[in-house]
Structure 1
Amino acid sequence: MHVLLVTHHYAPETGAPQRRWSAFVRRFVDAGHRVTVLAPPPHYPSGRAGDLAPHDRVGTVTRGQHGETVVRVRFRTHDHRLVSRSVDQAVAATDSLVRAVARYAGRRDRPDVVIATAPGLPSIPAGMAVARLLRRPVVVEMRDAWPDLIGSSGMLGPGHGRGRRALATTAAHRAMTHLQRRADAVVTTTVSFAEVLRERGARRVEVVRNGTSVAHLDPLPPAVGPAGSLRVLYLGTLGRSQGLAAAVKAADVVRERGVDLVMRVVGTGADEAYLYDTARRLGAPVQFVGRVPQGDVRAHYAWADTSLVSLRDWGPFEWTVPSKLYEALAVGRHVTASIAGEAARIVTESDAGDVVAPQDPAALADLWTRLAEDRARLDVGLRGRRWVLDNADHDRLAAHYLELLGGLTT
C-alpha cells in the first residue's frame, strides 16, 4: 500500500503523537509499504521553528529516518493561546490539502489510503478533503476524546458554557462528530472512547492503542531504598490536563509527616512555571529537571520507586489513557495512578500499582505515606510488562493497523 499521513506533529519533534507515528511508520515501511507524511517543520512545543535544517524547511520533500517521504507544509509561529495555536494548525492543514492535491491529482501513484490524525483538529477535515478529491478511503484518528474535551477543559476560557462560547463549543462538537460519521474508519486509542463514537453513529471504529516497544525496554530491578523513604517520578507533559499541582501539594504533606520523600518532575509544558512557584512557596520536596533526551529516560525510571501518572478529573479523561502509562508498566516500576476510567482499570487489572481519585492531594499523600512505610508494596514484578506485551506492544499494534488499512483498500 501507499499510505498518506496528514499530521501536525512529526519527527524530529518529540512527544506522544510523534513517538506513536515514528513507531508505526517504521513498521509500515519494514512490512514493504510506502508512507508519505504531510507535516509542518518541527516547531513543537515552543511554537517557533528556530534555525531549521535545510531538509526541514517548508516545501522540502525528503526521505525520513525510516524510509518514508516527508513533505513539509506551511505553518504559523504561535504562542500558548488557543487561538494562536488553532491558526497555526489551520494554516498547516490548508497547505497540506493544497500540496497533496498538487502532488497526486491525476497521477497513477496516488495514495491507496489517507490517514488524518489529531491533534491538531484541522488535520481531520483537511485529510478527509484530500481523500475525497483523490477518491481514496480515509481513516480519522482521534488520539484524545475530541470534541468532548473542548468544553470540559475550559480551553475556550471563562464562560464557555454561555453565549458565543457555548455556541462555538456546540458547533465544534457537531462538526467533528459529523466528520467522524463520514470517515471510512475511525481509530481511537481506548476501548471506552470507541464505544462512545459507535453510539454517536460512527460506522466503523477500531482501537489501536498508544503503546511502547517492549523489546526495547528491559525490565528494571526492584527499587531499593530505606524504610520511610520514597522517590516519586513524574515524566511527561506539564500541562493543564495533568493537574500536577495536586501532586506537589501531596508531596508537601508527606514531607510534613516526616517521610523522606523526593518528587522528580521531568518534562516541560504550559504549567511548568506555576508548578515551580507552587513548590517553592510550599517548600515541597520537588525537583524540576526539564526536558531530557529519550536516551536518558531509563535512568530516571531506575532512580524512582514509583512512577506517577496523572490526569484531571474531567469527564472525557475517563476515556483517555496517557501514553506514558504503557512505558511505566513495561519497565516494571510501581505506578501511582491519579486517574479514573479506563486508565485506572488498566492499572488495577494489571496489578502494577495503586489508584487514587484524580485531583485528591490527601489521598495521594496517604498512599505515598503507606508506600514509604511498607516498601514491599513497590515490587510489582513483571505483571504490568506482561499486560503491555499482550495489549499495547508496538509490533502488535502496527500489525492491527495494517490489517485495518488493507481491508479498506481491497
Structure 2
Amino acid sequence: MARPDSVLVISQLFNPDFGGLSTRAYGLALLFRSLGCRVTVLTTMPHYPDGYPREDSCPRGDGLDLVRLKLRLLPYRGFLNRVINFSYFPLACCRELFNSHGDYDLAVSVGFNPFSAIPLMFNGFKYVVDLSDLWPDTIAMEVRNPPLRLVLQLVGRRVNQYVFERSTGFILLNPNMHELLRRFYRLSEVKWTWIVNPADEGLFRPAKSREELRERLGIDQDSFVVLYHGVFGMLQGLPLVVRAFGKAFSSIRGRKQPVLYLIGHGEELGKVLRAVSELPPRVRERVKVLPRMPREVVANYVRAADLGLVPISASDALIYIVTPAKSIEYLASGVPILAPRGSFIG
C-alpha cells in the first residue's frame, strides 16, 4: 500500500489522559506525522477516569489536527460502565464523521476493542485496526458470573470477526498477537505490522545527573526508588504490589532503603490507599501515592528511579500479548524493569 497523504486516527482516549490507550494513540499519531502525513485525530475531551470532560486541560496539538468531542461519559469503573462508554463513543463518532464529510487516505482505529472501527466502516473509510489488547477476553476477567462471561466472549468475538474481516490490515502492539488472531478468528490472510508503543525520547531519556533530579523532586538520595506510573486499574493489581512491598521491606538489606512511588489515578485508587493504610507505620511512610501529573513531570520521576514496575494481572493465555507503554519509557530512560514471568519479557 502506498504511503497515505492524510490519516485519520480515532481513539476514545488521547493525550493528556493517563493510560496505555492514550499513550498508544498519541504515539501512533506522531509517528504518522513524522512520515509526512497530514494527521487528524478524532477523540474526546480529556475525561479519564471520572468521565467529566475537562476543557482547560487540553495541550497543544503537536502539529496534529485535533477534533475533540465533548462527551459526558460514565466513570471508568466496573464492567458495565466500560461497555457503555465504549459503545457511546463510536455512536458520537458516526455523527461527527457523517457531518464533517472528511476525505482521508487511511483511517486507524486505536483501542482495546474494535468498536472505534465501526464508524469508519459505516462511513466507507479504508481502515486498519490497531490492537494493543485483545477485547473481550481481557475485560471478561471482571465478570464473575461464568455464563455471562461466556456470552460476553462469544458476542464480542463475533463483533471482532465482522470488523476484522472488513479491515485493510492490523497494527499489532506485540507480534505474539498475530498467533492469537489466527487461532481465535481463523483469518487466512492477515496483513499486519508490529509497532511497539513509542516512547517520547525528548522526555524519557537517561538522566545526566540523577542526584540533581532527585534533589529537585524531593527524593531522598539514599533511597532505592521503585516506581510505577500509569492507570490504577484491575489489570495492574496494585494493591497486591503494595502488600508485596510491605512483605519484602523487612527482608531487604543494604545501605539504601527502598521507597515505592505510585503515580496515577484509576478505579483501584481506593483499594491502593486501603492497602497502604494497612501497612506497618515504618513501611507506610516509605510508600508515596501521587496524583496524575503532566508527562514532563512523570518523565523526571522515571529518570530518577532505580527500578520500574510493570505489573500485569491477567491469565497466562493473555499476559504475553500485553506490552505496556511504561515498559518502553523505562527502558528509554535507562531504568531496569520488573515484570511478571511469562509476560512480554519472556
Are 1:336 and 2:320 an aligned pair? Answer: no
Structure 2 match to 1:158: 144
Are 1:291 and 2:292 an aligned pair? Answer: yes
Equivalent residue letter for 1:240: M
Structure 2 match to 1:309: 310
Are 1:219 and 2:185 an aligned pair? Answer: no
Match of 1:268 among 243, 260, 265: 265
**Contact conserved, 2:172 with 2:192, CA < 8 A, in 1?**
yes
Structure 2 match to 1:196: 180
Match of 1:138 among 102, 107, 127: 127
Aligned positions of 1:50-129 closer than 5 A: 50=54, 52-53=55-56, 65-73=61-69, 75-79=71-75, 80-104=77-101, 110-119=103-112, 121-129=114-122
- Structure 1 residues 75 and 338, CA, compared in 2 at 3 Å: closer, same or farther? same
Once the 2 structures are TM-superposed, how far is the Cα of residue 258 of structure 1 from its aligned partner?
5.8
Structure 2 match to 1:239: 233
User: What are the superposed Cα offsets for residues 213-267 of structure 1, whole Å, 9 maximum, x if unpaired?
Assistant: 33543323697899x9633111222111011223212221222336432211111
User: What are the superposed Cα offsets for residues 345-400 of structure 1, whole Å, 9 maximum, x if unpaired?
Assistant: 3xxxxxxxxxxxxxxxxxxxxxxxxxxxxxxxxxxxxxxxxxxxxxxxxxxxxxxx
**Contact conserved, 1:234 with 1:309, CA < 8 A, in 2?**
yes
Once the 2 structures are TM-superposed, how far is the Cα of residue 98 of structure 1 from its aligned partner?
2.1
Equivalent residue letter for 2:340: S
- State the distance in 1 between where 2:29 and 2:64 align: 7
Aligned positions of 1:347-358 closer than 5 A: none
**Contact conserved, 2:330 with 2:337, CA < 8 A, in 1?**
yes
- Structure 1 residues 295 and 64, CA, compared in 2 at 3 Å: closer, same or farther? closer
**Partner SS, residue 338 of structure 1:** coil
Equivalent residue letter for 1:112: D
Once the 2 structures are TM-superposed, how far is the Cα of residue 14 of structure 1 from its aligned partner?
3.9
- State the distance in 2 between where 1:12 and 1:243 align: 23
- Structure 1 residues 37 and 255, CA, compared in 2 at 3 Å: closer, same or farther? closer
Equivalent residue letter for 1:267: G
**Contact conserved, 1:197 with 1:205, CA < 8 A, in 2?**
no
Equivalent residue letter for 1:266: I
Contiguous gaps of at least 5 residues in structure 1: 57-62, 346-410
- Structure 1 residues 38 and 222, CA, compared in 2 at 3 Å: closer, same or farther? closer
Structure 2 match to 1:230: 224
Once the 2 structures are TM-superposed, how far is the Cα of residue 329 of structure 1 from its aligned partner?
0.8
Once the 2 structures are TM-superposed, how far is the Cα of residue 197 of structure 1 from its aligned partner?
1.1
The number of residue pairs the alignment matches comes to 322
**Partner SS, residue 74 of structure 2:** coil
Structure 1 match to 2:155: 171
- State the distance in 2 between where 1:173 and 1:207 align: 22
**Contact conserved, 1:309 with 1:339, CA < 8 A, in 2?**
no
Once the 2 structures are TM-superposed, how far is the Cα of residue 190 of structure 1 from its aligned partner?
0.2
Instruction: Tell which deviates more after alignment, 254-263 or 90-99.
Output: 254-263
Runs of 4+ in 1 over 4 A off after TM superposition: 221-226
**Partner SS, residue 130 of structure 2:** strand
Structure showing greater Rg: 1
RMSD: 2.9
Once the 2 structures are TM-superposed, how far is the Cα of residue 305 of structure 1 from its aligned partner?
1.9
- Structure 1 residues 213 and 40, CA, compared in 2 at 3 Å: closer, same or farther? closer
Q: TM-score, normalised by structure 2?
A: 0.82
Structure 1 match to 2:21: 17
User: What are the superposed Cα offsets for residues 176-222 of structure 1, whole Å, 9 maximum, x if unpaired?
Assistant: 13322331101110010122213433431221111213354332369
Contiguous gaps of at least 5 residues in structure 2: 212-218
- State the distance in 1 between where 2:299 and 2:12 align: 28
**Contact conserved, 1:220 with 1:333, CA < 8 A, in 2?**
no
- State the distance in 1 between where 2:308 and 2:16 align: 26
Equivalent residue letter for 1:255: F
- Structure 1 residues 110 and 313, CA, compared in 2 at 3 Å: closer, same or farther? closer
- State the distance in 2 between where 1:41 and 1:14 align: 13
Point out which structure has higher relative CO (alpha carbons under 8 A, 6+ apart): 2
Say which structure is richer in helix. Answer: 1
Structure 2 match to 1:207: 194
Q: TM-score, normalised by structure 1?
A: 0.70
- State the distance in 1 between where 2:337 and 2:208 align: 15
Equivalent residue letter for 2:192: V
- Structure 1 residues 218 and 66, CA, compared in 2 at 3 Å: closer, same or farther? closer
Structure 2 match to 1:37: 41
Equivalent residue letter for 1:21: A
**Partner SS, residue 339 of structure 2:** strand
Equivalent residue letter for 2:279: L
